[in-house]
Chain A
Amino acid sequence: EPEVTQTPSHQVTQMGQEVILRCVPISNHLYFYWYRQILGQKVEFLVSFYNNEISEKSEIFDDQFSVERPDGSNFTLKIRSTKLEDSAMYFCASSESRFGTQYFGPGTRLLVL
């Protein structure tokens, strides 16, 4: 069964450093999402992406964040200058249609020191 994959599974970085989280969505899916989950808290929406454009973003998704689909398979989330409060689990998701079921990847656990 096709699945969303994410790399790396864990990342430790120093405050102020840039990180890039990578995702490979399910191959025939066209809509891509990033969510995050701070430990012990609910899952929060960050951004949705379609046709090489951001279609929706949350208040969390400020100028420090960016997303890109650099090729036909990868979907990336970049945090330009990480803060301690960016420590969280970051989930990528994809769906076949705009309001279709979103399938999640296994997540990247980011720790900012």
Chain B
Amino acid sequence: AQTVTQSQPEMSVQEAETVTLSCTYDTSENNYYLFWYKQPPSRQMILVIRQEAYKQQNATENRFSVNFQKAAKSFSLKISDSQLGDTAMYFCAFLYPQGGSEKLVFGKGTKLTVNP
């Protein structure tokens, strides 16, 4: 079974600085998708970024980028120029299409606080 590990339960960063959230996963498969979702205090789950495992290029979305290390099974999220609105829980998630499963497998999350 696929597992997702987020080793940092909580992190904090000063506004305008850069922070990196870690995620590792365990799979023996070759083709899969990885996601970062953001959950602000409102508790809505918001997609931040998606990465296909077959793509070597790291995905980016504005201030958000990933460092995808397939061999190391690592998928970290970098937030540049942190803003107060980035304060949220961040969940890493895994989807394994070739196994026939449509379910997202989530990590336990990292609580990020951006300080003014």
- A89/B43 in contact, CB under 8 A: yes
Contact stretch, chosen from A11-19, A64-72, A102-110? A102-110
Quick one: given A42-B107, A43-B91, A99-B97, are A107 and B102 in contact (CB under 8 Å)? no
Interface of A (DSSP majority class):
strand
Indicate the member of A31, A35, A37, A98 with the most B CB atoms within 10 Å. Answer: A37
A48 on the interface (CB 8 Å rule)?
yes
The smallest beta-carbon distance between A100 and chain B, in angstroms, is: 9
The answer to whether B106 touches A56, judged by C-beta atoms less than 8 angstroms apart, is no
User: Given A104-B46, A107-B45, do A58 and B97 touch, yes or no (CB 8 Å)?
Assistant: no
Question: Is the C-beta of A55 less than 8 angstroms from some C-beta in chain B?
Answer: yes
Residues of B contacting A41 in the complex (Cβ-Cβ under 8 angstroms) = 108
> Interface size (A, Cβ < 8 Å)?
26
* Contact yes or no, B104 A35, CB < 8 A: yes
Expressed in whole angstroms, the minimum distance between the Cβ of A45 and any Cβ of chain B is 4
Contact A45 B95 (CB under 8 A): no
Mask for A71-113, Cβ within 8 A of B = 1, else 0? Answer: 0000000000000000001010100001101111111010000
If A42-B91, A43-B91, A99-B95 touch, whether A56 touches B103 (CB-CB below 8 Å) is yes
Q: How large is the interface on B (under 10, 10 to 19, 20 to 34, 35 or more residues)?
A: 20 to 34
By the criterion CB–CB under 8 Å, are A104 and B44 in contact? yes
Minimum CB–CB distance from B88 to chain A (whole Å) comes to 13
**B residues in contact with A31, CB < 8 Å:** 102
Set B42, B47, B107: member contacting A101, Cβ < 8 A: B47
Additional 19 contacts, C-beta under 8 A, given A56-B103, A89-B43: A33-B102, A42-B91, A42-B107, A42-B108, A43-B93, A45-B105, A56-B101, A56-B102, A91-B45, A98-B102, A99-B102, A101-B50, A104-B37, A104-B45, A104-B47, A106-B42, A106-B43, A107-B45, A109-B43
**Interface residues, chain A, CB within 8 Å of chain B?**
31, 33, 35, 37, 41-45, 48, 55-56, 58, 89, 91, 93, 98-99, 101-107, 109
Instruction: Return the 7 tightest CB-CB contacts between A and B, nearest first.
Output: A104-B45, A45-B103, A99-B97, A106-B44, A43-B106, A48-B102, A42-B108
